[in-house]
Amino acid sequence: MSFPVILTEVNNSNGGISKNISRCRGETPGIGNFTQEQLLVAFDLCRALRTKTGIYSTALVDRTWNTYAGRTKYESHVINSGLKILDAQAKRSGGFMTGNVYSNTQYSSYIRSELQTECGGRENAVGHLRNFDINTFQKFQNYPGYRNFIDVLNRDHSRCQEQIGYAVFHTNAACTPATRMHGWVITKADSGELVEVIRVNSSMASYEVMERAIAAFTMSTLQKPEPLLLIKGGLETYVAPELEVFYVDELARRASRVQAEQPIPAPSEQAPVVTLEQPPVAPTKRSRPRL
């Protein structure tokens, strides 16, 4: 399983720059190594550049805009997030790991289904064991994202699943509090399928940390930078051939769709003009000329 990663920089109205990062789920086949989701996002920015419309016109001229795609096998012990303190702590503890773990960079625990009631030969009430497992995360209840994490675990469809919950952070004794939270991850316990990601830090370093954590927890793959679209100073410096092919085809598809959706003119509601038959005109009597 692999996910396209899209990074954009957009000028805010107040003059600042906001980095919008979206992790597009799904792998709809596209062209070459690129998925449909990657191509669609790159198409929108490419069209915005070429037509100079919308919010992106200023950002594309003034800033560098990149879309990267690709995939490579993940090595759990190699973090390289760019956040040196976390990279060092994770390397000492063996990187991000699945299952029950408590280290300087993660806390994780199996969370049983509420339908599992037997433990150690003793029968418990429905939901008791699941609530016990969830309560082990209470040590992080004052950290950002905790409430959202608990809410996801308590969803109706979630309570019947056996899951693994993860808190991702690093520790720094020089800071208060010493634990710096990056986010939360929930996966299915049997397959490692991703259930939910809760990010609590908008920095690029924290984003990279979470991407590597997700890849480790889901036994997934990690994005390897592969250029799809590069724009510098409002000029296209590189467009992948796959995107160029997709761009032309997508323009034609959208034009056809717009044409097909054009409303058919409704019949005129004006009342038809009825021509009434005129009554016969009586012949006029002419006077005879005098002789």
When divided into structural domains, the chain yields a total of 2
Q: What is the pLDDT of residue 151?
A: 94
Q: Are residues 171 and 234 in the same domain?
A: no
Is pLDDT of 288 > 70?
Answer: no
C-beta separation of 184 from 148 below 8 A = yes
CB atoms within 10 A of CB 69: 30
Q: Is residue 278 situated within a structural domain?
A: no
Range of the domain at 136: 74-221
Q: Are residues 211 and 101 in the same domain?
A: yes
Q: What is the pTM of this model?
A: 0.54
Q: Are residues 182 and 115 in the same domain?
A: yes
Report which secondary-structure segment, H or E, holds 6: strand 5-11
| Calpha distance 181→123 (Å, rounded) | 36
Q: Are residues 104 and 49 in the same domain?
A: no
Q: What is the pLDDT of residue 19?
A: 43
pLDDT grade for 281, boundaries at 50, 70 and 90? low
Q: Is residue 107 situated within a structural domain?
A: yes
* Averaged confidence pLDDT in the chain: 75
Average of per-residue pLDDT across 248-270: 79
C-beta separation of 105 from 44 below 8 A = no
Q: What is the pLDDT of residue 129?
A: 94
Q: Are residues 209 and 229 in the same domain?
A: no
For 103-160, the pLDDT digits (tens) are: 888 999 999 999 999 988 899 999 999 999 999 999 999 999 999 999 999 998 888 9
pLDDT grade for 64, boundaries at 50, 70 and 90? low
Q: Is residue 287 situated within a structural domain?
A: no
Q: Are residues 166 and 103 in the same domain?
A: yes
Q: Are residues 229 and 216 in the same domain?
A: no
Q: Which residue has the higher pLDDT, 250 or 194?
A: 250
Q: Are residues 150 and 59 in the same domain?
A: no
Q: Are residues 173 and 252 in the same domain?
A: no
Q: Are residues 209 and 167 in the same domain?
A: yes
Is pLDDT of 10 > 60?
Answer: no
